[in-house]
Amino acid sequence: MFDEAAESGTRQVDAQLAAGTYWRAAVLIEAVKSAVSPGDRILDYGCGAGRISLLMARAGFAVTGVEPSNALLRKANEQNCSGLRLRFHRVAPGRTDGLVPSCCDAILCSSLIEFVPDASDLLRQFHELLSPRGKLFISFANRLSLWRRYAEWRFGDVAPHFRLQRNIWLERDAWRVLSDAGFTKVASTKYFESPFDKYPLLSAMNRFACVGTLGLITAQRAD
Ligand SMILES: C[S@@+](CC[C@H](N)C(=O)[O-])C[C@H]1O[C@@H](n2cnc3c(N)ncnc32)[C@H](O)[C@@H]1O
Protein backbone atom coordinates (compact mmCIF):
# COMPACT_ATOMS: atom_id res chain seq x y z
CA MET A 1 0.00 0.00 0.00
CA PHE A 2 2.81 2.47 0.87
CA ASP A 3 4.40 1.89 -2.54
CA GLU A 4 1.15 2.62 -4.38
CA ALA A 5 0.43 5.77 -2.37
CA ALA A 6 3.98 7.12 -2.68
CA GLU A 7 3.25 9.65 -5.47
CA SER A 8 -0.06 10.99 -4.17
CA GLY A 9 0.99 10.95 -0.50
CA THR A 10 4.23 12.81 -1.21
CA ARG A 11 2.39 15.38 -3.37
CA GLN A 12 0.02 16.02 -0.49
CA VAL A 13 2.83 16.50 2.03
CA ASP A 14 4.74 18.76 -0.38
CA ALA A 15 1.63 20.93 -0.80
CA GLN A 16 1.37 21.24 2.99
CA LEU A 17 5.06 22.12 3.20
CA ALA A 18 4.64 24.82 0.55
CA ALA A 19 1.61 26.22 2.36
CA GLY A 20 3.36 26.11 5.76
CA THR A 21 0.72 23.72 7.11
CA TYR A 22 2.68 20.53 7.63
CA TRP A 23 1.73 20.45 11.31
CA ARG A 24 2.95 16.89 11.90
CA ALA A 25 6.52 17.94 11.15
CA ALA A 26 6.18 21.01 13.37
CA VAL A 27 5.07 18.91 16.36
CA LEU A 28 7.77 16.27 15.87
CA ILE A 29 10.62 18.68 15.27
CA GLU A 30 9.70 20.78 18.28
CA ALA A 31 9.81 17.63 20.44
CA VAL A 32 13.16 16.56 18.98
CA LYS A 33 14.72 20.01 19.41
CA SER A 34 13.63 20.14 23.04
CA ALA A 35 15.40 16.89 23.97
CA VAL A 36 18.27 16.29 21.51
CA SER A 37 21.48 18.31 21.24
CA PRO A 38 22.41 19.97 17.91
CA GLY A 39 24.69 17.74 15.84
CA ASP A 40 23.42 14.51 17.45
CA ARG A 41 22.69 11.46 15.28
CA ILE A 42 19.01 10.75 14.61
CA LEU A 43 17.56 7.67 12.98
CA ASP A 44 14.22 8.35 11.25
CA TYR A 45 12.78 4.84 11.16
CA GLY A 46 10.11 4.44 8.46
CA CYS A 47 10.97 7.86 7.07
CA GLY A 48 8.61 7.59 4.08
CA ALA A 49 9.54 10.21 1.48
CA GLY A 50 12.03 11.73 3.92
CA ARG A 51 10.47 15.15 4.31
CA ILE A 52 10.75 15.13 8.11
CA SER A 53 14.29 13.71 7.85
CA LEU A 54 15.23 16.64 5.63
CA LEU A 55 13.74 19.18 8.05
CA MET A 56 15.63 17.60 10.95
CA ALA A 57 18.88 17.70 8.97
CA ARG A 58 18.23 21.37 8.17
CA ALA A 59 17.74 21.91 11.93
CA GLY A 60 21.35 20.76 12.41
CA PHE A 61 21.02 17.05 13.22
CA ALA A 62 22.89 14.20 11.50
CA VAL A 63 20.03 12.15 10.10
CA THR A 64 19.73 8.65 8.68
CA GLY A 65 16.33 7.84 7.19
CA VAL A 66 15.45 4.19 6.67
CA GLU A 67 12.43 2.87 4.85
CA PRO A 68 11.20 -0.44 3.39
CA SER A 69 9.23 1.02 0.45
CA ASN A 70 11.40 1.44 -2.65
CA ALA A 71 9.01 4.00 -4.13
CA LEU A 72 9.15 6.18 -1.01
CA LEU A 73 12.90 5.74 -0.73
CA ARG A 74 13.26 7.02 -4.31
CA LYS A 75 11.25 10.10 -3.35
CA ALA A 76 13.48 10.63 -0.31
CA ASN A 77 16.64 10.38 -2.41
CA GLU A 78 15.31 12.86 -5.01
CA GLN A 79 15.53 15.64 -2.41
CA ASN A 80 18.39 18.10 -2.42
CA CYS A 81 20.49 17.01 0.55
CA SER A 82 23.67 18.88 -0.39
CA GLY A 83 25.56 20.35 2.54
CA LEU A 84 23.45 18.36 5.00
CA ARG A 85 24.34 15.34 7.11
CA LEU A 86 21.51 13.26 5.67
CA ARG A 87 21.37 9.85 4.01
CA PHE A 88 18.70 7.31 3.24
CA HIS A 89 18.74 3.57 2.86
CA ARG A 90 16.46 0.58 2.76
CA VAL A 91 15.56 -1.74 5.62
CA ALA A 92 13.37 -4.83 5.59
CA PRO A 93 9.96 -4.27 7.24
CA GLY A 94 10.21 -4.39 11.03
CA ARG A 95 13.98 -4.90 10.89
CA THR A 96 17.03 -2.80 11.62
CA ASP A 97 19.64 -5.15 10.12
CA GLY A 98 22.66 -3.28 8.81
CA LEU A 99 22.46 -0.66 11.56
CA VAL A 100 25.02 -1.08 14.34
CA PRO A 101 24.42 -0.97 18.11
CA SER A 102 24.67 2.54 19.62
CA CYS A 103 24.64 4.09 16.12
CA CYS A 104 22.25 6.89 17.10
CA ASP A 105 21.48 9.34 19.90
CA ALA A 106 17.78 9.50 19.08
CA ILE A 107 15.20 7.62 17.03
CA LEU A 108 12.09 9.08 15.48
CA CYS A 109 9.37 6.53 14.74
CA SER A 110 6.41 8.49 13.38
CA SER A 111 3.09 6.94 12.31
CA LEU A 112 4.60 3.50 11.94
CA ILE A 113 4.26 1.36 15.07
CA GLU A 114 0.55 0.89 14.37
CA PHE A 115 1.44 -1.07 11.22
CA VAL A 116 4.08 -3.34 12.74
CA PRO A 117 3.09 -6.95 13.52
CA ASP A 118 5.59 -7.34 16.37
CA ALA A 119 5.95 -3.94 18.07
CA SER A 120 7.84 -5.38 21.06
CA ASP A 121 10.51 -6.85 18.84
CA LEU A 122 11.03 -3.58 16.95
CA LEU A 123 11.27 -1.57 20.19
CA ARG A 124 13.89 -3.97 21.53
CA GLN A 125 15.88 -3.42 18.33
CA PHE A 126 15.57 0.37 18.85
CA HIS A 127 16.94 -0.08 22.38
CA GLU A 128 20.05 -1.75 20.94
CA LEU A 129 20.58 0.99 18.36
CA LEU A 130 20.46 3.87 20.84
CA SER A 131 23.45 5.23 22.69
CA PRO A 132 23.15 5.15 26.51
CA ARG A 133 20.25 7.45 27.57
CA GLY A 134 19.37 7.92 23.90
CA LYS A 135 15.89 9.28 23.18
CA LEU A 136 12.98 7.67 21.37
CA PHE A 137 10.20 9.81 19.85
CA ILE A 138 7.37 7.51 18.94
CA SER A 139 3.85 8.30 17.84
CA PHE A 140 0.99 5.84 18.25
CA ALA A 141 -2.52 5.62 16.81
CA ASN A 142 -4.65 6.90 19.69
CA ARG A 143 -7.55 4.62 20.60
CA LEU A 144 -9.21 7.35 22.67
CA SER A 145 -9.50 9.85 19.81
CA LEU A 146 -13.11 10.42 18.78
CA TRP A 147 -11.87 11.78 15.44
CA ARG A 148 -10.05 8.52 14.86
CA ARG A 149 -13.18 6.49 15.60
CA TYR A 150 -15.26 8.69 13.33
CA ALA A 151 -12.71 8.48 10.47
CA GLU A 152 -12.54 4.70 10.72
CA TRP A 153 -16.35 4.42 10.70
CA ARG A 154 -16.75 6.94 7.85
CA PHE A 155 -13.73 6.12 5.63
CA GLY A 156 -12.65 2.65 6.85
CA ASP A 157 -13.81 0.97 3.63
CA VAL A 158 -12.00 3.33 1.26
CA ALA A 159 -8.87 4.30 3.22
CA PRO A 160 -6.67 1.17 3.07
CA HIS A 161 -4.39 2.19 5.94
CA PHE A 162 -7.14 1.42 8.48
CA ARG A 163 -7.10 -2.23 7.40
CA LEU A 164 -3.32 -2.39 7.88
CA GLN A 165 -3.27 -0.94 11.39
CA ARG A 166 -2.70 -3.62 14.01
CA ASN A 167 -1.82 -1.61 17.11
CA ILE A 168 -4.32 1.06 18.14
CA TRP A 169 -3.20 1.99 21.61
CA LEU A 170 -4.04 3.84 24.76
CA GLU A 171 -1.04 5.56 26.29
CA ARG A 172 -0.78 2.77 28.85
CA ASP A 173 -0.65 0.11 26.08
CA ALA A 174 2.27 1.95 24.52
CA TRP A 175 4.03 2.19 27.88
CA ARG A 176 3.58 -1.51 28.61
CA VAL A 177 5.51 -2.36 25.44
CA LEU A 178 8.05 0.45 25.89
CA SER A 179 8.83 -0.48 29.51
CA ASP A 180 9.31 -4.13 28.57
CA ALA A 181 11.77 -3.02 25.89
CA GLY A 182 13.78 -0.97 28.43
CA PHE A 183 12.49 2.59 28.00
CA THR A 184 11.53 5.18 30.62
CA LYS A 185 9.47 8.35 30.36
CA VAL A 186 11.04 11.71 29.51
CA ALA A 187 8.02 13.95 28.86
CA SER A 188 4.23 13.83 29.03
CA THR A 189 2.47 12.36 26.02
CA LYS A 190 1.45 15.00 23.51
CA TYR A 191 -1.66 14.44 21.41
CA PHE A 192 -1.81 15.94 17.92
CA GLU A 193 -3.19 15.77 14.37
CA SER A 194 -6.91 16.03 13.64
CA PRO A 195 -9.17 17.89 11.20
CA PHE A 196 -9.04 20.77 13.71
CA ASP A 197 -5.50 21.43 12.38
CA LYS A 198 -7.09 23.55 9.63
CA TYR A 199 -8.65 25.98 12.11
CA PRO A 200 -6.19 27.98 14.22
CA LEU A 201 -8.69 28.57 17.01
CA LEU A 202 -9.72 24.93 17.26
CA SER A 203 -6.34 23.27 16.77
CA ALA A 204 -5.52 23.73 20.46
CA MET A 205 -8.19 21.05 21.08
CA ASN A 206 -5.81 18.44 19.63
CA ARG A 207 -3.95 18.28 22.90
CA PHE A 208 -6.87 16.48 24.53
CA ALA A 209 -6.55 12.70 24.41
CA CYS A 210 -10.12 12.38 23.14
CA VAL A 211 -9.28 14.57 20.09
CA GLY A 212 -5.72 14.14 18.71
CA THR A 213 -5.56 11.07 16.48
CA LEU A 214 -1.91 10.47 17.37
CA GLY A 215 -0.06 10.42 20.67
CA LEU A 216 3.62 11.35 20.81
CA ILE A 217 5.75 9.74 23.51
CA THR A 218 9.25 10.92 24.35
CA ALA A 219 11.10 8.06 26.01
CA GLN A 220 14.68 7.33 26.94
CA ARG A 221 16.80 4.23 26.95
CA ALA A 222 17.05 3.15 30.60
CA ASP A 223 20.50 1.81 31.40
C1 LIG B 1 2.14 6.65 7.55
S2 LIG B 1 3.74 6.48 6.87
C3 LIG B 1 4.69 7.57 7.92
C4 LIG B 1 5.90 8.13 7.24
C5 LIG B 1 6.69 9.14 8.09
N6 LIG B 1 7.34 8.49 9.19
C7 LIG B 1 5.80 10.24 8.58
O8 LIG B 1 5.56 10.37 9.78
O9 LIG B 1 5.30 11.00 7.74
C10 LIG B 1 4.22 4.89 7.46
C11 LIG B 1 5.62 4.50 7.04
O12 LIG B 1 6.00 3.31 7.71
C13 LIG B 1 6.57 2.41 6.79
N14 LIG B 1 6.28 1.07 7.32
C15 LIG B 1 5.10 0.43 7.35
N16 LIG B 1 5.23 -0.78 7.92
C17 LIG B 1 6.54 -0.89 8.26
C18 LIG B 1 7.32 -1.91 8.89
N19 LIG B 1 6.78 -3.07 9.29
N20 LIG B 1 8.65 -1.68 9.06
C21 LIG B 1 9.20 -0.51 8.69
N22 LIG B 1 8.50 0.49 8.09
C23 LIG B 1 7.20 0.28 7.87
C24 LIG B 1 5.88 2.70 5.48
O25 LIG B 1 6.61 2.25 4.37
C26 LIG B 1 5.74 4.21 5.56
O27 LIG B 1 6.86 4.88 5.07
Residue range 137-188, pLDDT digits in tens: 999 999 999 999 998 888 877 777 888 889 999 999 999 999 999 999 999 9
- Distance set, CA 43 to CA 96, 110, 131 (Å): 11, 11, 12
pLDDT at 24: 97
Condensed to tens digits (0 to 9), the pLDDT of residues 48-65 reads: 999 999 999 999 999 999
pLDDT at 159: 76
| Centroid of ligand 1 to alpha carbon of 201 (angstroms) | 30
| Centroid of ligand 1 to alpha carbon of 48 (angstroms) | 6
Residue 54 near ligand 1, beta carbon < 6 Å: no
Nearest CA to ligand 1 atom 7: 110
Residue 65 near ligand 1, beta carbon < 6 Å: no
Torsion of CA 191, 111, 119, 108, to 10 degrees: -90
| Centroid of ligand 1 to alpha carbon of 82 (angstroms) | 25
Amino acid identity of residue 16, one-letter, is Q
The per-residue pLDDT of the chain, averaged, comes to 95
Residue 47 near ligand 1, beta carbon < 6 Å: yes
Nearest CA to ligand 1 atom 3: 111
Condensed to tens digits (0 to 9), the pLDDT of residues 88-115 reads: 999 999 999 999 999 999 999 999 999 9
pLDDT at 70: 96
pLDDT at 4: 85
State the Cα–Cα distance between residues 86 and 174, nearest whole angstrom: 29
Ligand 1 atom at shortest distance from the alpha carbon of 117: 19
State the Cα–Cα distance between residues 104 and 191, nearest whole angstrom: 25
| Nearest alpha-carbon partner for 120 in 144, 106, 138 | 138
State the Cα–Cα distance between residues 90 and 46, nearest whole angstrom: 9
Condensed to tens digits (0 to 9), the pLDDT of residues 68-91 reads: 999 999 999 999 999 999 999 999
pLDDT at 3: 86
| Centroid of ligand 1 to alpha carbon of 67 (angstroms) | 7
